[in-house]
Amino acid sequence: MVVGIQGGIQVFVEGQTEPVLEDEVRLEGDLFSPPLFLEGLLVVPGSTGLHVYDLAARLSGRSFEPPRVQHLALGGSLVSAVVGDGRRWLAAPVQGARQAEVRVWEYRPRRGLVSVPNFRPGGVGPGQDLHVWLVGAHLYAGVEGGPLSGLDLTTRRTLDTLQVPGRLKASPVIRSGPVPLVRSGEEELYRLPQTAGHSLQPVFHASGQSLWTWAEEDSAFWVVAGDHLYRAGTQGGGQARLALRDSGALCPALVRNGAFVLDRGGWLTAVRFQEGQLQHDGQQRLFEGTLAHSAAPEALGRTLYVVDPEGSLCAWQASEGEVG
């Protein structure tokens, strides 16, 4: 799936070079933050509202059905949007007239996203941006340099306040699932607790390098720090490291037995994880120019897709024997 900055949608399926769906989303201005995919629903964030397209029937291969559209008003200016683990929740921290708050929707079959009561964490001053995470049915929110307030969305009970050691920072790439924090002072990643009564869990230390971004799978974190790619076990297992061409690569796109890593200058590296080690498995330059750190390459089967600086969709397919 590709969504352009002005709302053009192209949806692809594995094995086909042409999109199965092309459409335009009417945005108030440009795309405000990366689009989200939630159980067959495409969520395209604008500055004052969320456009939700029901694509499930079209993507399932059944006879064509025009995607139904749902518009969700924010009641404020959107800061960002996140999808919760289990693909059940959507949260959008917004700037209200007096205080920032978190708008929350629950996904319900045949009804789409249904609004639930807003969440207003304490200690948020006027004009401060909220960082928000969803871990299962637990919502955490807080401002940079402050604690994280928590709420159980199923029971509406307040969770223990989490003290963040240093300045918290969210990943520039939105992913579903448990998302760690980054301590910008000493470049450490922390995992948010999945159950009540637990504290932040340190999972990675960047050893003085600039920690750019990360991705998570079931048993490991893939981290770009400085000019290296790391793979670290979530339960304290071994850590593997691989040198990259340049510092500041984009978020790794994970595939079976490895990852695709794209740097901001257009160089794509295929990486294999084998016998506890990371290995180079091919390299190619996709384009010239510079991408923003928030760009999010996506892997579909053995193919990686990314939108280049000129707005064109690039694809790179791994050959037989390579990762993916």
Predicted confidence (pLDDT) per residue in 171-197, tens digit: 655 555 556 777 766 678 888 887 777
Reported as a pLDDT band with limits 50, 70 and 90, residue 231 is very high
Kindly state the average pLDDT of the residues 69-88.
74
pLDDT at residue 312 is higher than 80: no
Question: Tell me, what's the pLDDT at 15?
Answer: 65
Question: Tell me, what's the pLDDT at 157?
Answer: 92
Alpha-carbon span 44 to 50, nearest angstrom: 6
| The pair of three-digit structure tokens given for residue 8, joined into one six-digit string | 């053009």
Put the strands of the sheet holding 277-285 in their side by side order: 253-255, 258-262, 267-274, 277-285
Question: Tell me, what's the pLDDT at 288?
Answer: 84
Question: Tell me, what's the pLDDT at 32?
Answer: 58
Put the strands of the sheet holding 303-307 in their side by side order: 298-300, 303-307, 313-317
Q: In the chain, what are the helix, strand and coil shares in percent, each to the nearest 5?
A: 0, 45, 50
Number of Cβ atoms within 10 Å of the Cβ of 135: 19
Question: Tell me, what's the pLDDT at 279?
Answer: 93
CA Rg value for the chain: 20
Nearest in space to 265 (alpha carbons), one of 306, 223, 317:
306
Question: Tell me, what's the pLDDT at 277?
Answer: 93
Nearest in space to 232 (alpha carbons), one of 262, 174, 171, 273:
273
Reported as a pLDDT band with limits 50, 70 and 90, residue 151 is very high
Alpha-carbon span 216 to 178, nearest angstrom: 8
Of the two residues 150 and 247, the one the predictor is more confident about is 150
Reported as a pLDDT band with limits 50, 70 and 90, residue 163 is confident
Residue listed under structure tokens 């400085």: 226
Encode burial over 276-306: b for 16+ CB neighbours within 10 A, e otherwise. Answer: eebeebbeeebbeeebeeebbbbbbebbbbb
Name the DSSP class of 57.
H
Of the two residues 158 and 15, the one the predictor is more confident about is 158
Question: Tell me, what's the pLDDT at 156?
Answer: 92
Domains of the chain: 206-324 (2.40.128.630)
Q: Which range has the worst mean pLDDT, 48-62, 98-112, 134-148?
A: 48-62
What percent of the chain is predicted at pLDDT more than 90? 10
Average model confidence (pLDDT) for the chain? 78
Of the two residues 38 and 225, the one the predictor is more confident about is 225
Question: Tell me, what's the pLDDT at 5?
Answer: 56
Q: Which range has the worst mean pLDDT, 11-15, 125-129, 151-155, 191-195?
A: 11-15
Reported as a pLDDT band with limits 50, 70 and 90, residue 240 is very high
